[in-house]
Structure 1
Amino acid sequence: KVTESRSFDKALVVFHHWNASARYQQLANFFSRRGITVVEMALPYHFERSRPGADYADYMLSPNLGRTMQSMRQAVWDGRKLIRWLREQGFKEISVLGMSLGSWVAGLIAANDKTVSKAALFLTAGSLADMVWTGRATRTICESIKPAIELDDLRRAWGPLNLVNHAHHLARDNLELNVVLAKRDKVVLPELSERLIQGLKDAGAEPSILELNCGHYSLSMPPYIVSAGRSVARLLKPDP
């Protein structure tokens, strides 16, 4: 879904959260009024890409380790193809923004696509394995995995999805990072986010970090989402 602006210089590609039921229209309008075209990509098994008969995006993130890897890989490929298309349309600066699970997709794209100049990661962490193992929203997945695999094995299986393992690429000179976290997050625990921040700093990155006194889901409500949106607006403003 494309929300156009008057300018065709900047584009922001947005990756939504797992099981999203609606697009981020207010966010899209906020940035389009500021001269940034917003492109919201449906992740695999969401919106128009939903699996027939499925009540939620059970193939995007599931106890099936290989299918989850395949779905995340598909999301990254799709995002990179979309970025190439935006370049062909004439956009000069392309940034990415990811929410929760979408932040892993946005982070992986930013790490591996040097045409991305700015990345905003909301409610993110490094290890997807640890997030699934400890998060409230993924409790059912964790209960299905635990009888068959230990956490260390899950970390190895999903190692390519761990943003800490891509920290060196995320720390490149031509990439600016903005991270927005919730201090009372029960889905992506704050200690997991802290590991990612430390990994980025160890690699030489200097991310802009905004920690809000809210939970995972309340970030989407005022006044928290206003603060988060303003932090991204500062990230995307023209360089002096």
Structure 2
Amino acid sequence: MAHSLDRMGLYLLHRQKSQQSQFTRYDRSLLEQANWDIVYPTPDVPEVHFEHMHKQMNYEIQRFSFQSPMKFGNEINDRVQGNVYFHSSQSPIHVIVVHGWRMDQWEKINRLFLKPFNKSGFHMWQMMLPFHFDRAYSSYSGEYMISANIERSIFSVRQAVMEIRSLIRWIKQNKGGSVILVGVSLGGLMTNLVATVEEYADAVISIMYANSLSYAVWHTPIGKYIKQDLQNNGVTYDMLKEYWEILEPISQKPKIDRNRILFIAGRYDQYVHFEDALALQQAWNISNFISYRCGHAGIIFHRKKIANDVLSFIHRTLSLSPRSV
């Protein structure tokens, strides 16, 4: 059943694909000698702008935006955007939710977390990843973030990590309290990378996350058209793994306490293979690891369990005192 549900999701996902090759040649020497802190530098605290949207439940919902600390050169993509749900409780707990690859609406995220977070009094921040949602200027959301354009994919991931760090630091400086990162699918990979460089996140929760983009592209159905594009241009798996090594959190150890990290993975996941998720859990020695007997579609069909596990972990972790910039 898990395989069937994932196959159906993959079929629907692949109805949209790049109509032309995204491949470009990549000069690995651009980052070959760079250490991790140079690849993912510490950003300044940004100037964040807010615009009131509407009210829902106990939330005042606003659109926030700020200039990306890492410029690609396109005005649409270089303006970070997202929604923030400010809770009337004036809670000191801020949760940044990072969405998955090719997501183009917030419905799945809201079904997962809106009511549980509202009940708990948490503020919720939803940040658009590079080349997604209103930051996309391609034929579909996310087309330009992960593709056969090896260099742009590297840039996109680095840009996302810096933007999440920027938002963490703005919240710490201007709101105080605890900042929790919750990443779903590709968002989980982003939050895991943030954990390797950012000491001011109070907890990191990764749900159905990947560890290796090169593995996902080459060995799972989700990357089949990207793999095809790369192979058509003479790129092998070993070459791609070497190019994208700097995008793998397993290359480093987390900067935050391992007890503040929760991993949730699906044993039968066809988007993100369980063995890839397990490799990072074992390398980092993460004791807070929950495996569900489901595939990637568990994000939808096990959302109540996911929400309960996430809330339970946040409440346990908050016994540890938060830090501020």
Q: What is the count of residue pairs matched by the alignment?
A: 231
Whole-Å separation in 1 of the counterparts to 2:141 and 2:122? 31
1:160 aligns with 2:246: yes
Contact 2:180 2:202 in 1 (8 A): yes
1:109 to 182, 186, 194: 194
Contact 1:3 1:32 in 2 (8 A): no
Percent identical pairs in the alignment equals 23
Measure how far apart 1:116 and its partner are. 0.5
Change over 3 Å in CA distance of 1:175–1:88 after alignment to 2: farther
Whole-Å separation in 2 of the counterparts to 1:49 and 1:158? 23
Whole-Å separation in 1 of the counterparts to 2:98 and 2:141? 17
Partner in structure 2 of residue 134 of structure 1? 219
Contact 2:102 2:140 in 1 (8 A): no
1:184 aligns with 2:268: yes
Measure how far apart 1:42 and its partner are. 0.4
Whole-Å separation in 2 of the counterparts to 1:227 and 1:104? 21
Contact 1:119 1:175 in 2 (8 A): no
Whole-Å separation in 1 of the counterparts to 2:319 and 2:141? 41
Q: What's the TM-score once normalised by structure 1's chain length? A: 0.90
Measure how far apart 1:174 and its partner are. 6.9
Measure how far apart 1:188 and its partner are. 0.6
Partner in structure 1 of residue 133 of structure 2? 47
Partner in structure 2 of residue 220 of structure 1? 299
Measure how far apart 1:15 and its partner are. 0.6
Measure how far apart 1:226 and its partner are. 1.1
Contact 1:118 1:177 in 2 (8 A): yes
Aligned-pair RMSD on alpha carbons? 1.7
Measure how far apart 1:176 and its partner are. 0.8
Measure how far apart 1:119 and its partner are. 0.5
1:234 to 303, 312, 315: 312
In the alignment, structure 2 segments of 5+ residues that lack a partner are: 1-82, 321-325
Matches within 5 A, 1:18-57: 18-23=101-106, 24-26=109-111, 27-51=113-137, 53-57=138-142
Structure 1 runs of 4+ off > 4 angstroms?
none
Contact 1:2 1:39 in 2 (8 A): yes
Q: Which amino acid aligns with 1:159?
A: E
Measure how far apart 1:136 and its partner are. 1.3
Measure how far apart 1:20 and its partner are. 0.6
Contact 2:186 2:210 in 1 (8 A): no
Whole-Å separation in 1 of the counterparts to 2:141 and 2:127? 17
Contact 1:11 1:91 in 2 (8 A): no
In the alignment, structure 1 segments of 5+ residues that lack a partner are: none
Contact 2:259 2:287 in 1 (8 A): no
Question: CA deviation digits over 1:118-177, x for unaligned, max 9?
Answer: 1011111321110111121111001111242221221111111111112x225x437611
Question: CA deviation digits over 1:162-197, x for unaligned, max 9?
Answer: 11112x225x43761111111111111111112111
Measure how far apart 1:7 and its partner are. 3.1
2:152 to 67, 77, 82: 67
Q: Which amino acid aligns with 1:15?
A: V
Larger Rg: 2
Partner in structure 2 of residue 2 of structure 1? 84
Matches within 5 A, 1:201-216: 201=285, 206-216=286-296
